Amino acid sequence: MTLDKRLGQRFLPYGANYLDWSDMTELREVIDQRVLFRYQTEGESMASRLERHVARRLGARHALAVHNGTEALRLALVSTRPRVGDLVFVPAVTFVAVAGAVLASGLIPVLVDADESLSLDPALLPPDARRVVVAHMEGTVGPVPEGVPFVIEDCAQSLGARLPDGRHAGTAGYAGTFSFHHNKVLTSGEGGLVVTGDDEAWARMRGYHDHGSARVPGRYPTWDQDAHFGENFVTSEGVAAIQSQQFRHLDALLAGLERMYAIAVEELPDRPGLEALPRAAGDVKVSLRFRWESRELRDAAVAGLTARGIANWTLGKYFLPEHPVLTGRRSLYADGFPWSLVPDAPLVLSRDGFARTRDLLDRTLCVPLSPELSEPDQILAVKAIRQALDAV
């Protein structure tokens, strides 16, 4: 019998393990009101309540709920009022949605190599960089560059993380974006949030996300006289209700991850050829990260864990220098927009052509932690992980 069946649980996703119909008071309230569009509620919408709670919980001045994390990135980028073809410096190690959001905004992504933690290396940025996306991957808080006017923190995988100075991830730069996709810390299947401390930026985001005009609740549709064009990124009351339910469990989820991480630190093997990568105090402990001496050992560990029913993943899927959208400058536009706006020259910043980063990714393995388990079951799960690693 595999480990997940013995423990009667699923390793992934984290937030989905806290979904329970008996706990869905917010969703029941929305259904009872029979209004699912946030700007047609007579009182305060569920989406507005969610935004108010998130802003307070994260220490942000403003929060805006949208359909997904990619839209949140686009809103943050567009609100900087760029010119078409402007450069945006993005991590070389992140999900392709970051590059996609840049391109969909008519901007050009420049891949910046990673540091030892696989976060964007600020030392590689040019002194005149104006727009930078920093991705806090796998719950790990990466460095936030200073002196850049528009730093966007992609916190899709790090909700609840804190920077070394105590601020929540997503609140140190110009804007922070979050995702509620199925495999995130909290989930509503899809869904996103953007936070900012800039009043004017928030006003631009709020207008653009609803066809360019700021709505008046209960009086839809109304239009600002100075409205600009926009798109429809408005979240629904049902999605906001599920996210509100999820947020009620955030502290318990984070505590469960911390507890299992502490157990793992004490129990995991100290053996040649294997390094358990430490996590900072402010990181969200969504997984254990291991770095092997060789890719062959890493692949053997993958096989051993998988055979025992222990969830695991590698990070090669996040290596953007090898993604066809970047290598082939792929576009659905006939003229190749927006790639057509820049010369056919490398749009990368790396000291060694990404060789070190490629090697680090090839030797890295992640094993998720399970916050919803009781402490005895967490101990049992960690022992199973150790047995699999000892066998490599």
Burial class (CB in 10 A: 0-12, 13-18, 19+), 18: buried
Radius of gyration over every alpha carbon of the chain, rounded to an integer in angstroms: 22
Same domain, 77 and 22: yes
Percent of the chain with pLDDT over 90: 87
Same domain, 89 and 227: yes
Same domain, 126 and 229: yes
Q: Is residue 106 part of a domain?
A: yes
Same domain, 97 and 126: yes
Same domain, 226 and 375: no
Q: The domain containing residue 309 runs over which residues?
A: 251-319+354-390
Q: What is the pLDDT of residues 223-273, one digit of tens each?
A: 778 778 999 999 999 999 999 999 999 999 999 999 999 999 999 878 889
Token pair of 88 as six digits: 């945006």
Same domain, 169 and 300: no
Q: Is residue 5 part of a domain?
A: no
| φ, ψ dihedrals at 181, nearest 5° | -60, 165
Q: Is residue 22 part of a domain?
A: yes
Same domain, 189 and 54: yes
pTM score, whole prediction? 0.95
Find the CATH number of the domain harbouring 256. Answer: 3.90.1150.10
Closest CA to 325 of 334, 314, 336, 335: 336
Task: Find residue 88's DSSP bridge partners.
Answer: 109
- Boundary of a domain, candidates 249, 270, 289: 249
Q: Is residue 234 part of a domain?
A: yes
Q: How confident is the model at residue 222 (pLDDT cuts 50, 70, 90)?
A: confident
Q: What is the pLDDT of residues 99-138, one digit of tens each?
A: 999 999 999 999 999 998 899 999 999 999 999 999 999 9
Strands 87-91 and 150-154, by their bridges, are: unpaired
**Residues 6+ positions from 87 with CB-CB distance below 8 Å:** 107, 108, 109, 110, 129, 130, 131, 347
Q: How confident is the model at residue 152 (pLDDT cuts 50, 70, 90)?
A: very high
Interatomic CA distance for residues 221 and 212, integer angstroms: 12
In the 3-class helix/strand/coil scheme, how is the chain assigned residue by residue?
CCHHHHHCCCCCCCHHHHCCHHHCHHHHHHHHHCCCEHHHCCCCCHHHHHHHHHHHHHCCCEEEEECCHHHHHHHHHHCCCCCCCCEEEEECECCCHHHHHHHHCCCEEEEECECCCCCECHHHCCCCCCEEEEECHHHCCCCCCCCCCEEEEECCCCCCCECCCCCECCCCCCEEEEECECCCCCCCECCEEEEECCHHHHHHHHHHCECCCCCCCCCCCCCCCCCCCCCECECEHHHHHHHHHHHCCHHHHHHHHHHHHHHHHHHCCCCCCEEEECCCCCCCCCEEEEEECCHHHHHHHHHHHHHCCCCCECCHHHEHHHCHHHHCCCCCCCCCCCHHHCCCCCCEECCCCCHHHHHHHHCEEEEECCCCCCHHHHHHHHHHHHHHHHCC
Q: What is the pLDDT of residues 161-201, one digit of tens each?
A: 999 999 999 999 999 999 999 989 999 999 999 999 999 99
Find the CATH number of the domain harbouring 38. Answer: 3.40.640.10
Q: What is the pLDDT of residues 72-106, one digit of tens each?
A: 999 999 999 999 999 999 999 999 999 999 999 99
Total domains in the fold of the chain: 2
> Looking at residue 224, what is its pLDDT?
76
Same domain, 197 and 106: yes
Same domain, 118 and 146: yes
Q: What is the pLDDT of residues 17-48, one digit of tens each?
A: 899 999 999 999 999 999 999 988 888 999 99
Q: Is residue 168 part of a domain?
A: yes
Q: Is residue 328 part of a domain?
A: no
> Looking at residue 13, what is its pLDDT?
75
> Looking at residue 247, what is its pLDDT?
97
Q: Is residue 342 part of a domain?
A: no
Interatomic CA distance for residues 172 and 12, integer angstroms: 29
> Looking at residue 156, what is its pLDDT?
97
Same domain, 178 and 259: no
> Looking at residue 303, what is its pLDDT?
97
Q: Is residue 8 part of a domain?
A: no
Whether the upstream peptide bond of residue 13 has omega within 30° of 0, thus cis, is yes
- Boundary of a domain, candidates 234, 249, 264: 249
- Boundary of a domain, candidates 223, 249, 275: 249
Residue 9 clears pLDDT 60, i.e. is over it: no
| φ, ψ dihedrals at 243, nearest 5° | -65, -40
Ranking 214-223, 262-271, 324-333 by mean pLDDT, the lowest is: 214-223
Same domain, 160 and 213: yes
- What would the mean pLDDT of 368-374 be, rounded to a whole number? 94
Residue 3 clears pLDDT 70, i.e. is over it: no
Mutual orientation of helices 237-247 and 46-58 as an angle, nearest 10°? 30
Residue 16 · residue 187 · CB < 8 Å? yes
Same domain, 34 and 173: yes
Mean residue pLDDT across the chain: 93
